[in-house]
Amino acid sequence: MLHRLGALLAATTITLAGWAGAAQAQVVTPSPAPTPTVACPPVLPLTGSVAGTTQTSVTVRYSMIGPPCGYVLPVTVTLFASLADAQQWRDPVAAAVSGPERYGDVTLDGLVPDTEYWFRFSDGEGRRDVYTVGGPARTLPVAGCVASAVVDAAWAGGFVGTVTVRNIGNEPIDGWRVSWQWPGDERIQAVWGGEAASDGASVVVRNVDYNGTVAPDGTATFGLLVATSRSGVVVTPACSA
């Protein structure tokens, strides 16, 4: 009897040991999931072009790809006075920061008229874009004119005067217009070197064929014979080109 009980206990021990071994064999440690590979598009992460210029500003249009393939907003646009300076990020002359959009316009002000500029980009973490060197973007030249008037001779009942038009721009002007307001009862009796039109106290004089083109810092003139009951007439003419 004791012999049979011992054999039975031994068989049970073997069975339990086998079950434990099988349980241990079934424990599997999961392997870490592979990190997905991001396929970046075959384009530059940040591109730009000149959207417009004025006499004192340049507007740059940009388009940016975000992380992980691109940069972090906002975009900083930096201007340089030469291509060599832009390539080396040397001596910037102006900088401006974009809004939160991944594409848009950035305007840089306070520039010199009729001057070329180049631009570079950097992102919100200060990383400099290594691909794009944009430009040149040339600001517009100064254009326009000023006018001044002098009385050459006066008498009771009228005067003769000369108006001088000066081109203050960097480019020739092709046609000018001078206007002013009379302070009293003044009336133009004759004009030479210009074509005059009046509407009450308002006067406009335009160039004639031979004096409409004025070189930079050049001048054109016209003369007036004016009737008036006043003395010491002063006018402040305005010029546009």
Asked whether residue 20 is assigned to any structural domain, the reply reads no
Residues 121 and 178 in one domain: no
Q: Radius of gyration of the chain from Cα atoms? A: 41
Name the more confident of 75 and 1. Answer: 75
CATH number at residue 127: 2.60.40.380
Q: The tokens of 38 are what?
A: 């991001």
Residues 158 and 122 in one domain: no
Q: Is residue 116 within 8 Å of residue 33, measured between CB atoms?
A: no
Residues 128 and 152 in one domain: no
Residues 231 and 178 in one domain: yes
Asked whether residue 28 is assigned to any structural domain, the reply reads no
CA triple 223-142-120, angle to 5 deg: 175
pLDDT band at 36 (very low <50, low <70, confident <90, very high): low
Q: Provide the strand spans (E) within 158-228.
A: 158-167, 173-174, 177-181, 187-192, 195-199, 202-206, 213-214, 219-227
Give the C-alpha separation, 62 to 169, whole Å. 32
Residues 133 and 100 in one domain: yes
pLDDT of residue 141: 87
Provide the CB-side half-sphere exposure for 140 (13 A, CA). Answer: 11
Of 118, 138, 158, the position where a domain reaches its end is 138
Residues 179 and 129 in one domain: no
CATH number at residue 174: 2.60.40.290
Asked whether residue 24 is assigned to any structural domain, the reply reads no
Residues 96 and 182 in one domain: no
Q: Fill in the DSSP letter of residue 133.
A: -
Which residue range forms the structural domain that includes residue 51? Answer: 46-138
Q: Fill in the DSSP letter of residue 184.
A: S
| pLDDT of 98 strictly over 90 | yes
pLDDT band at 43 (very low <50, low <70, confident <90, very high): confident
- Among 178, 165, 179, residue whose Cα is nearest residue 211: 165
Asked whether residue 32 is assigned to any structural domain, the reply reads no
Maximum CA extent, the chain: 159
Asked whether residue 10 is assigned to any structural domain, the reply reads no
pLDDT band at 66 (very low <50, low <70, confident <90, very high): confident
Residues 162 and 116 in one domain: no
Residues 156 and 214 in one domain: yes
pLDDT of residue 143: 85
Give the C-alpha separation, 175 to 129, whole Å. 46
pLDDT band at 163 (very low <50, low <70, confident <90, very high): very high
Share of the chain above pLDDT 90, in %: 74
Residues 131 and 74 in one domain: yes
Asked whether residue 15 is assigned to any structural domain, the reply reads no
Residues 134 and 192 in one domain: no
Of 78, 112, 138, the position where a domain reaches its end is 138
Share of the chain above pLDDT 70, in %: 84
Of 78, 103, 138, the position where a domain reaches its end is 138
**How many domains are contained in the chain?**
2
Residues 150 and 77 in one domain: no
pLDDT of residue 216: 93
pLDDT tens for each residue of 137-150? 999 988 899 999 99
pLDDT of residue 17: 45
Provide the CB-side half-sphere exposure for 29 (13 A, CA). Answer: 2
* 61 contact partners, CB below 8 Å, separation of at least 6: 48, 49, 50, 51, 103, 104, 105
